[in-house]
Every structure is written in structure tokens, then in C-alpha cells.
């Protein structure tokens, strides 16, 4: 029962995050809204570490790993927060469905992981085709939507870079026989390093606190800081420890679909038929990428290709 509740909690948090990002900017500059979210999360992470009986390593390998994570928190989130002003919340979540595929492609070239099977290459082609439909459909409604699309895609790219770089740091620690970082240590260190970057950015841009705070912004920033950055992380790893990886990856399929409907129901976001077709293609490509076993067996019989992974 608790595992099912945690699973649904992760799905809910991930699907509502794009909507909350837009809501947090109701009366607050996007940069300040993001900086407050990250700083509050970093502060809250300290007592969580104490409760878990964990410290915060500051050796060179740990700092490198935090920097890798900060590419995702500072770089990726900065881009998506900026792009959120030009794109419906539901489409932000859908575009983020590209991240597992992009991370897999990067891991293939960067870490030498053999994840790009023929079925997954076909999945990438289908997903990119769906992306084309999404872009075309959105530009029909709003000429400025390209800003949100570019911002979100750059964010997805940086998120993938961060994930692969962090994984490389973990492998380096294993090779050097160093103790691996606990997920909460990685999160806390990443949040604190990102907070430093945001403090510098706020100082350089002269961004200050707003004179007026709407209730919407305050609730959204608080929700993102507590649920989006900390609770969602804890629930995700709880689910990961109790369910198979194949079941956990279903979150990346369910959350974007829910996000589209949250935007439609609560924000009256308009979606053209072309956009919906693109969403179906993109999520279909993602499903094929996550579970390529059957198609790879077909490719194996037809071309003699031998899959190198044991897919669930």
C-alpha cells in the first residue's frame, strides 16, 4: 500500500511541477522564483541529512559530483523557468519525456554504454517526429512559442548532460575505491552549490525581491521547494528500492499525460490536433525506448543483430 501511495505521489508531483513553475512566476521574476525554490530546498536538506545521520562530504570527488548535478539544477532549471512563460505547462512535461532517450544516447557516446539498440534508434526517430508535430502545432497558435520550445529543449539537453556526468562521477569513485555518495548527500550538495550560483547570478543581474507577493506565487514556490525538490526525491528513491526499474520508468509516461490534462483543466491551455498527434508520437517513442525487448528480438531474427541488454 505504501509503495503504491509513493508511486502515485511521484507521478502527481512530477506532473504538477510545470504548472507550479508557471504559477510561481505570478508575481515574482522567473530568476527569483527559481532561486528561492533552490535555496529553501538547500536549507531544508540540512535537517534531513541530520535525521538520516549523514554528513556532507567536501572532498574533490564529491565537489565534482555536486558540480555535475548543478548543471541540471542551475543550468537546466534556469532554461525551463525562462521558457515556461512562452509554453503551456503540459507541453513542458511532454518535451521532458525526451530526457531518458537523450541521456541514453549521451551515455552511449560518453560512457560507452551499449544502450542504442536498433529498436531504441527507431524510438528516437519516432520521438523526434513527434517533437516536430508538437513544435508545428504550437507555432500555429503562438509565434513566440519557439522561445519556450528552445528554452525547454536546452533544459532537457543540460539535464541529460548532468545525469550522464553524475553517473561518470559515480563510476570514477568506484574505480578509485571511494565511498559512494548517498543520494541525499548528492542532492544536498547539488542544491547548495546551485544556491551559490544563483546568489552570484542575482547579484550580477541586480534582481531583487519583489514589492508585492501574490498568494499564488508563495504557495507555488513553497510547493516546489518542499514537494518538487525534496519530497519527490525521497518518494522516488523509495519506489525505486521497492519496484523493478521497468515499473518505475512508467512514471515518465504517465506524468506527461497527466500534465497535459492539468494544463487543460486548470489553465484552459489550448491544444491543436497536430499537437496531440505529436504528443502521442513522442510518448509512443518513449515507451518503445523504455521497453525495446520485443522489437529487438524481431530485428535479431531479421538481421542477425544480437541484443546486448537484458530488457525487462
pLDDT of residue 304: 61
Q: Taking all residues of the chain, what is their mean pLDDT, rounded to a whole number? A: 87
| 3-state percent helix, strand, coil for the chain, nearest multiple of 5 | 80, 0, 20
Residue 239 · residue 231 · CB < 8 Å: no
For residue range 205-248, what is the model confidence (pLDDT) as tens digits?
Answer: 999 889 899 999 999 999 999 999 888 877 887 886 677 655 67
How far apart are the C-alpha atoms of 117 and 133, rounded to whole Å? 25
Among candidates 286, 280, 265, 242, which has minimal Cα distance to 10? 242
pLDDT of residue 307: 53
Residue 80 · residue 152 · CB < 8 Å: yes
- Of 67-71, 84-88, 227-231, 238-242, which range is least confident? 238-242
Which DSSP string do the residues of 53-75 spell out, in sequence order?
T-----SHHHHHHHHHHHIIIII
For residue range 188-210, what is the model confidence (pLDDT) as tens digits?
Answer: 999 999 999 999 999 999 998 89
Rg (CA), the chain: 20
Is the whole-model pTM more than 0.75? yes
For residue range 10-39, what is the model confidence (pLDDT) as tens digits?
Answer: 999 999 999 999 999 999 999 999 999 999
Amino acid at each position: 500500500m505504501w509503495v503504491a501511495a509513493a508511486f502515485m505521489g511521484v507521478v502527481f508531483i512530477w506532473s504538477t511541477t510545470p504548472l507550479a513553475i508557471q504559477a510561481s512566476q505570478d508575481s515574482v521574476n522567473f530568476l527569483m522564483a527559481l532561486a528561492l525554490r533552490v535555496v529553501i530546498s538547500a536549507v531544508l536538506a540540512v535537517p534531513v541529512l541530520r535525521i538520516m545521520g549523514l554528513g556532507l562530504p567536501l572532498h574533490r570527488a564529491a565537489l565534482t559530483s555536486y558540480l555535475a548535478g548543478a548543471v541540471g539544477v542551475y543550468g537546466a532549471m534556469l532554461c525551463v523557468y525562462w521558457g515556461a512563460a512562452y509554453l503551456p505547462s503540459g507541453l513542458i512535461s511532454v518535451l521532458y519525456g525526451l530526457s531518458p532517450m537523450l541521456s541514453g544516447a549521451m551515455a552511449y557516446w560518453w560512457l560507452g554504454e551499449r544502450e542504442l539498440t536498433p529498436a531504441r534508434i527507431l524510438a528516437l526517430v519516432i520521438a523526434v517526429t513527434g517533437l516536430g508535430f508538437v513544435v508545428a502545432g504550437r507555432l500555429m497558435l503562438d509565434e513566440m512559442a519557439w522561445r519556450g520550445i528552445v528554452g525547454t529543449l536546452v533544459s532537457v539537453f543540460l539535464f541529460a548532460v548532468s545525469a550522464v556526468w553524475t553517473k561518470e562521477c559515480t563510476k570514477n569513485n568506484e574505480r578509485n575505491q571511494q565511498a559512494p555518495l548517498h543520494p541525499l548527500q548528492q542532492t544536498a550538495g547539488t542544491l547548495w552549490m546551485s544556491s551559490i550560483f544563483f546568489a552570484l547570478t542575482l547579484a550580477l543581474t541586480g534582481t531583487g525581491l519583489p514589492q508585492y507577493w501574490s498568494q499564488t506565487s508563495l504557495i507555488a514556490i513553497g510547493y516546489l521547494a518542499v514537494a518538487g525538490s525534496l519530497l519527490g526525491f525521497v518518494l522516488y528513491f523509495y519506489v525505486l528500492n521497492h519496484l523493478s526499474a521497468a515499473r518505475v520508468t512508467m512514471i515518465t509516461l504517465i506524468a506527461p499525460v497527466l500534465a497535459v490534462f492539468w494544463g487543460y483543466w486548470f489553465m484552459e491551455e489550448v491544444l491543436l490536433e497536430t499537437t496531440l498527434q505529436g504528443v502521442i508520437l513522442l510518448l509512443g517513442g518513449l515507451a518503445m525506448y523504455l521497453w525495446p525487448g520485443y522489437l529487438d528480438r524481431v530485428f535479431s531474427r531479421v538481421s542477425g543483430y544480437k541484443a546486448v541488454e537484458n530488457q525487462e
